[in-house]
Structure 1
């Protein structure tokens, strides 16, 4: 039994070992297989890596090729753009060339016409000469009978006939009507007159089928692409909120203040327009030109381009370039038939105002009489002082000093907007301007019509209630919760009382009063009269404040009849003066044609400079000689007509005024203003209204003009401009330009 049991255990052991060996072999085989699989996987992974590297390399090559293609495309696009620009420039040049050819053809026709007229005049002079010879022969005879007397009279009649025919052939003999055009920054209008009745100058008072309106807004409303004018003048700003449909809700903002892009304003003071300013000016002149042509055609059956003399009024500070731009815009607006038409004559705003005031208000007419004109416009207020330099046989005057500042009637509107910001919130007003400009304009119109224009300052009980919900309903959406709660309680009504309005007027009027004081103090001669012209000069509160302030200094202060038309009316008078052979002196002296064509240059015989220590006294070490001489223009310098020499000056933080003392000398090495041979030329005083700003800069300079040296000071921050003209020192130029 024992052996059997032992044998059985051995068998089991052998079976276990056999099974173990078999299992081990299986596991070993599986492991070997796994190793083989792992090697295969590694090989596959390696192959995949190689393929991936190949793909990456191919992608890199493709990217490089793609970038190369993009570069080629970019170059092609750039070349295409260059070709397009070149084509456009070529097209513009061809258009300019075509225009020039057209103008040259017209010029040739005019020369031919002028040549024929001159030939006729020569023939007439020949006839006159023959008649004179016949008369002389008759006078040599010893015996004079009735037949000789009769012949003498006939010769005289022929002489007079020839003379009258000659007079008819003078320049502008074909002009039948004169139009004075006041193209303003905020408002524009025109006056017109038939040359056969010079006393009957009319101002247009029908605009957009509305009567008794002497001017219309200088504004344009374009389509969405800013290509075509949809509305112009006052209607461009007068869409009523309750009349607007969805399309009008989405319209773009009107284009305004485009005239400010002309002149020498600093870029910060110019408007940001969505289109080129020349296009805006041209489009506006074209629209107002249609009204001018229709008005003339209603009264007289004449040819506009042949029989109408157009006299646009422009600011005195315009340069030759500005004249050229205005001339080009007038031509493109179809108001003249060729660019250099003799039927276009410019005059300046202060000169047109002076003509009107002399015709309608100046009582004293002695040589040396001085008077001041305050032109109160929408954006600027221009003060000009004139001196009557001759009264007989014709009256004319010269500009002695000018001050211009940005404090026109629209700045009262800005005070009103500031008032609304205080009541409704700055953000609410900003959103209204940005999103609903027409409703913003409705608020301005409501204020102007019912508050600003009728305000006299006489009634302390003055009160006006502005209904926000009615005039600007979208403003309700822009107010914050707190403001809405307050305004809802007040039924969206804002009460504007006497003190509110006075606080809007007074800062602007005080600024004007300060300028008048400055202009009076700059000249020791008595000012005989102050005339208020311009649209807002009709305001009784403004008139009363000016009279209260200066009635002891100036005996005659008045706003003439229809001061809103003074500029265009004066331009029409100027136009009439150019047609009269009796008024050549006025043409040459009262209103100097600013489109100067003289290119003469002269050499300065003196050195010109200013007392720099009066400006920079704290910057220099004080000594016994504290009046240092800063040279602006050196003796021996060749200057062109209207050439300017200037420098920049920065006032101190709280400085309210400044004086520029100008000297001249023949001493080349002058250092101080109190040296011998240093002579005082004059003093220019200026005011600095923005006293609390530390970034102010004044550009001061001297301009050597045709009749004198103009000292000017321009405030780069506010746009305020001071200018006064001094006569040249004796023998400065042997011939003045």
Structure 2
């Protein structure tokens, strides 16, 4: 990649927070978002017009209330896109958040990054006049652990299209996972917690769309290594909203809810936000503190009433369009989701070979008192210290800035896949006869040659090497890199095997014919794969390019 990182003066985490490299302990979090001041985070929402031009983004993009059935909203024709980053994860199509028809999630991601980038550039250049954005600023993007390298490559393309970086290959853009960034934040504030060098802790990033977990060990010199493979699932707090929406469907009828979703999505979204503010956020799981909540559909979501028919209409008219939420109902909304969170934590505790000294919950969902109660209730015998650190909502973005300031904080990561290369080896009787080829009079077969094994803890700069020879007098060649969610593979068409990318090499010294051993090197410890090559006989450095399979 193009090296343009030699004069970094400011690091910004997309969220956003920022710091000057001269004052790394002074990380500032933006608290002014268009029409709103005092919030350290804005919503990942975009409002489009019918031509998919951005009208508003963030908190101002949220729908406004329509109180009367005949009232027309000025946003009636607007189209709302939210949680669009989830479309890059490995999630079933039916589980992906609804987007306006015809909107590519990549466009939504790019548009959002562009809008937040405009604000970010203004704030930074106002603060430090004379600073050249593309030269002096490092941008750190946090992504869910569920993102594979393909998803991260798409995010890089989106960041480039959004003009966050000057070139697609720019090293001024770095990635870290959301729980990794939060773990760095906790490490920076370790004096608040009873942890010391050698201890391991679990970080549970409780976001809106995903729950991401990582287990880290504290190393000397304030560094972290990854103890187990990071895991995550699509079970963030918005899935509680989904349970509420399904419940509304049972009250108004599925057809009415579908019409509302298709024709008045901003108003449906307003109803959900109303639920979040007055029901979800205050819920602490203590029945003694509970008072049944009533939602007046005529007041909160009047446009829905016109679509309610039959028995549902009769019942709602009889109760004056009031929907009551009792304690058990709301707890059921939570328990469907929290059950998955507890399962993820349980799996990480089982996989860990060391005792876990602490569990930290961060992210917006971590502010749920009921979630914290359930985690403590379930795991207090295994882990004595379970806590929500100060400012959990900004922990990820602040940790991202810290990572950008001190990128050596992360010493090692655990591989989530097994990687290998397709090469010819000697054919054996255990190999299929149809795969055999005669090369220079010898029986050969194309096979999977493992480079790096899943579950291996690798340093971020650790190299995986392979020696290969040209098959004829050629000046360049290509190798296919494969990955599999298993410890090893035999052939590159094994079930579960997928093409990861292509390694292109220059092979110097053509006059030597086939006697030109080439050593190529791949690094998997970073968030993005790097490639290098060397001609062993001459010692020449050869051009090596890794092209991800998109």
With the shorter chain as reference, the TM-score category is 0.7 to 0.9
- Residues 1:591 and 1:574: Cα distance change in structure 2 (over 3 Å): farther
**Offset of 1:635 from its aligned partner?**
12
Q: Is the 8 A contact 1:528 1:554 kept in 2?
A: yes
Q: Is the 8 A contact 1:378 1:410 kept in 2?
A: yes
Matched, 1:177 2:7: no
- Residues 1:429 and 1:271: Cα distance change in structure 2 (over 3 Å): closer
Deviations 1:689-723 (A, max 9, x none): xxxxxxxxx969999x9579xxxxxxxxxxxxxxx
Q: 2:236 aligns with which of 408, 417, 428?
A: 408
Aligned to 1:229: 54
Q: Is the 8 A contact 1:468 1:494 kept in 2?
A: yes
Q: 1:644 aligns with which of 483, 499, 518?
A: 483
Q: Is the 8 A contact 1:373 1:530 kept in 2?
A: yes
Q: How many residues align?
A: 448
Q: What's the secondary structure of 1:401's corresponding residue?
A: coil
- Residues 1:249 and 1:371: Cα distance change in structure 2 (over 3 Å): closer
Determine which structure has the larger strand proportion and give its number.
2
**Offset of 1:468 from its aligned partner?**
0.8
Deviations 1:111-149 (A, max 9, x none): 9xxxxxxxxxxxxxxxxxxxxxxxxxxxxxxxxxxxxxx
Aligned to 1:258: 84
| Distance in 2 separating the partners of 1:364 and 1:702 | 42
Which one has the largest radius of gyration? Answer: 1
Aligned to 2:355: 526
Q: Is the 8 A contact 1:603 1:638 kept in 2?
A: no
Deviations 1:550-601 (A, max 9, x none): 11110110011111111111110011114xxxxx4x35x257999xxx9988
- Residues 1:323 and 1:308: Cα distance change in structure 2 (over 3 Å): same
Aligned to 1:363: 194
Q: 1:295 aligns with which of 123, 126, 143?
A: 123
Q: Is the 8 A contact 2:106 2:158 kept in 1?
A: yes
**Offset of 1:547 from its aligned partner?**
0.9
Q: Is the 8 A contact 2:18 2:27 kept in 1?
A: yes
Which runs of structure 2 are paired with 1:236-251 in the superposition (5 Å)? 236-242=61-67, 246=72, 248=74, 250-251=76-77
Deviations 1:207-249 (A, max 9, x none): 22212222222222222122x2112223223232249974736
Aligned to 1:383: 213
Structure 2 unmatched ranges of 5 or more: 426-444, 453-480, 501-521, 526-545
Aligned to 2:324: 495
Aligned to 1:439: 267
Which runs of structure 2 are paired with 1:507-526 in the superposition (5 Å)? 507-526=336-355
Determine which structure has the larger helix proportion and give its number.
1
| Distance in 2 separating the partners of 1:462 and 1:699 | 51
Matched, 1:328 2:154: no
Q: Is the 8 A contact 2:181 2:403 kept in 1?
A: yes
| Distance in 2 separating the partners of 1:406 and 1:319 | 15
Aligned to 1:276: 104
| Distance in 1 separating the partners of 2:180 and 2:405 | 14
Q: 2:204 aligns with which of 342, 358, 374?
A: 374
- Residues 1:347 and 1:592: Cα distance change in structure 2 (over 3 Å): farther
Q: Is the 8 A contact 1:646 1:702 kept in 2?
A: no
| Distance in 1 separating the partners of 2:54 and 2:342 | 40
TM-score of the pair, normalised by structure 1: 0.55
**Offset of 1:484 from its aligned partner?**
2.9
**Offset of 1:408 from its aligned partner?**
0.9
**Offset of 1:412 from its aligned partner?**
0.7
**Offset of 1:332 from its aligned partner?**
1.7
Q: Is the 8 A contact 1:532 1:558 kept in 2?
A: yes
- Residues 1:343 and 1:515: Cα distance change in structure 2 (over 3 Å): closer
Q: Is the 8 A contact 1:241 1:438 kept in 2?
A: no
**Offset of 1:542 from its aligned partner?**
0.7
- Residues 1:700 and 1:423: Cα distance change in structure 2 (over 3 Å): farther
| Distance in 1 separating the partners of 2:338 and 2:184 | 26
**Offset of 1:602 from its aligned partner?**
9.0
User: Relative contact order: is structure 1 or structure 2 higher (C-alpha 8 Å, sep ≥ 6)?
Assistant: 2
**Offset of 1:444 from its aligned partner?**
0.4
Q: Aligned-pair RMSD on alpha carbons?
A: 3.7
Aligned to 1:28: none
Q: What's the secondary structure of 2:25's corresponding residue?
A: coil
Q: Is the 8 A contact 2:9 2:137 kept in 1?
A: yes
Matched, 1:309 2:134: no
Q: What's the secondary structure of 2:50's corresponding residue?
A: coil
Q: What's the secondary structure of 2:229's corresponding residue?
A: strand
Q: Is the 8 A contact 1:424 1:479 kept in 2?
A: yes
| Distance in 2 separating the partners of 1:446 and 1:199 | 38
**Offset of 1:287 from its aligned partner?**
0.5
Matched, 1:340 2:151: no
